[in-house]
Amino acid sequence: MFGLSSLSGKCLDDFLSKEPYSKLRKVARYNIFDLLRALNWAAAKEIMEAFYELGLDKTLKRPRSTMEVCYEHYIVDTLLLREILDSLVYMGILDEAAGRYKIRYFKRKIKKPAVVDEFMKTPLRAVFEVIRLMGESIVDVLLTGNRELDWVKDAAIAFEPFEFSPQMASIRLKACDMFYRYIREVMSVERKEKLYLLMTGLGSGFGVVNVAQFFTRLGVQIIALDPSEREIRLAEGLLEDFGLEIPIGQYDILRDFSKSSLVMDTLPSDARFDGCIAYERWRFYDRIGRAQILTNIAYSLNVSGSLLDLSLPKEQILLLNTVLYTIRGWRGHMSVEEKRNFMCMSFQRVKEYTKKIITRADLPLVRGIWL
DSSP 8-state symbol, 364? P
pLDDT of residue 368: 46
- Cα-only R_g, the chain: 22
Please give the average per-residue pLDDT across 148-175, as a whole number.
Answer: 85
Q: Give residue 239's pLDDT band: very low, low, confident or very high (50, 70, 90).
A: very high
Give the residue-averaged pLDDT of 317-323. Answer: 90
Determine the length of the chain.
Answer: 371
Question: Which homologous superfamily is 171-355 in?
Answer: Vaccinia Virus protein VP39 (3.40.50.150)
Sign of CA dihedral 316, 170, 112, 147: negative
| DSSP notation for 208-271 | HHHHHHHHHTTT-EEEEEES-HHHHHHHHHHHHHTT----EEE--TTS-GGG-HHHHHHSPTT-
**Cα 45 to chain center, whole Å?**
22
DSSP strand pairing (196-200 vs 221-226):
parallel
**CA 247 – CA 259 distance, rounded (Å):** 16
Res 370: pLDDT: 40
Per CATH, which fold does 32-146 belong to? Arc Repressor Mutant, subunit A (1.10.10)
Domain spans, the chain: 32-146, 171-355
- Range in 212-221, 225-234, 357-366 the model is least confident about: 357-366
Average pLDDT of the chain? 87
CA distance 243 to 37: 34
3-class state of residue 288 by DSSP: helix
Asked if 333 contacts 283 with a C-beta cutoff of 8 angstroms, the reply is yes
- Among 177, 230, 232, 168, which Cα is nearest to 199's? 232
Average confidence (pLDDT) over 58-80 = 95
Is the model's pLDDT at 192 over the cut of 50? Answer: yes
As a whole number of angstroms, the distance between CA 334 and CA 329 comes to 15
* Total Cβ atoms within 10 A of residue 257: 24
What is the Cα–Cα distance from 301 to 136, expressed in whole angstroms?
A: 45
Amino acid at 252: D
For 260-310, what is each residue's pLDDT tens digit?
Answer: 999 999 888 778 898 999 988 888 888 888 888 888 888 888 877 888 988
Handedness of CA 276, 280, 282, 284 (dihedral sign): negative
DSSP class of residue 244 equals -
pLDDT over threshold 50, residue 253: yes
What 3-state class would DSSP assign to 283?
helix
Residue-by-residue DSSP string for 92-138:
TSEEEETTEEEE-------PPPTHHHHHHTSTTHHHHHHHHHHHTTH
| Paired strand residues for 123 | none
Given this model, what pLDDT does residue 360 score? 54
Is-cis flag, bond preceding 20, omega within 30? yes
Higher-pLDDT residue of 352 and 47 is 47
pLDDT of residue 108: 63
* Whole-number Å distance between alpha carbons of 165 and 351: 38
Query: Running DSSP on this structure, what letter comes out for residue 253?
Result: T
Tell me the whole-structure pTM to 2 decimals. Answer: 0.86
> Do 57 and 103 contact (CB within 8 A), yes or no?
yes
- Element containing residue 94 per DSSP (H, E): strand 94-97
Q: E strands along 260-348, which residues?
A: 273-279, 301-310, 327-328
The DSSP string of 208-219 is HHHHHHHHHTTT
In sequence order, the 6+-apart residues with CB closer than 8 A to the CB of 187 are: 193, 195, 274
